[in-house]
Structure 1
């Protein structure tokens, strides 16, 4: 069975301003880079990961590169399925073009099922986004996750054991303390 570590990207200026980024391609800020380095150091100390996959958005790719440099793993692939929800244009005022939450969680679930099927007995890190991770967890384990909040550079670890997904670690940011 694959072990999958879901990581939310490091913080950006837009995160600090409370602006929804969606698919806007925003880079990490200095704090976000520092957060990624801290998580990379944590992951290099007591955990061995086989692969690193990331969303195609800059903030996730940058987070993955920083972590990968520290844990000595290159980015194995970039997967659009784990990119952030598309909030559409001017979504707060017009509610036009927003991606359906069910579609977001379906993308996330399809990604997890593929990773579990293709990389049995591997430990895979996936750098993604808060809404994608949260909505996927709510779909995957609805009894456990009726609501979610995913911190920047948090680590959530899930595994599929006997055809049932289980969350071993949720939204852990001990590396930021």
Structure 2
């Protein structure tokens, strides 16, 4: 079993450096173009993907729809566990706006953000449930940078060190009772 983990395409808020969190921001034209480029890469192989699933947030769901259509594979119902981390009061703000409002140590403040351990638990629950439900399938998953970063921290430990790029592709394979990294945070299709 292989799982291809994809971060959704670019949105206007991504381009402006605004934290989206669970705000339901759509893809922009560049994000749609990125999704098409990744779909072409996936269609060229070498892995045959069986289906695709995403979070319910429209930027992830539209990315998944574009890929599903090109690969002619089923798009499953969105999974709530794949939604982005809730960022509370900082959603919609840029780094500069956060520092202006709360100072340079704003990350240490309680501003209504979803706890990282809660985020990690739901990400790992999704992975285990998917592995058990589809043990003989290869599945594409479209989610969000915050969720995937926490998932990669839990699965890859110190190997995970880079920011998760828009439309990046990470491929994990279940083998010998563990997830092994085949490809990590790759954006070759965008170059």
TM-score (norm 1): 0.94
CA contact under 8 A between 1:8 and 1:155: conserved in structure 2? yes
State the alpha-carbon separation in 1 of the partners of residues 90 and 83 from structure 2.
19
Mapping of residues 45-56 of structure 1, within 5 Å: 45-46=44-45, 47-56=47-56
Mapping of residues 138-177 of structure 1, within 5 Å: 138-145=153-160, 147-177=161-191
State the alpha-carbon separation in 1 of the partners of residues 163 and 150 from structure 2.
10
CA contact under 8 A between 1:151 and 1:173: conserved in structure 2? yes
CA contact under 8 A between 1:81 and 1:107: conserved in structure 2? yes
CA contact under 8 A between 1:52 and 1:77: conserved in structure 2? no
State the alpha-carbon separation in 2 of the partners of residues 172 and 114 from structure 1.
25
Structure with max Cα Rg: 2
Instruction: Name the residue aligned to 1:32.
Output: 31
Tell me how far 1:74 sits from its aligned partner: 2.9
CA contact under 8 A between 2:51 and 2:68: conserved in structure 1? no
Gaps of 5+ in 2: 92-97, 103-108
State the alpha-carbon separation in 2 of the partners of residues 148 and 132 from structure 1.
14
State the alpha-carbon separation in 2 of the partners of residues 95 and 8 from structure 1.
27
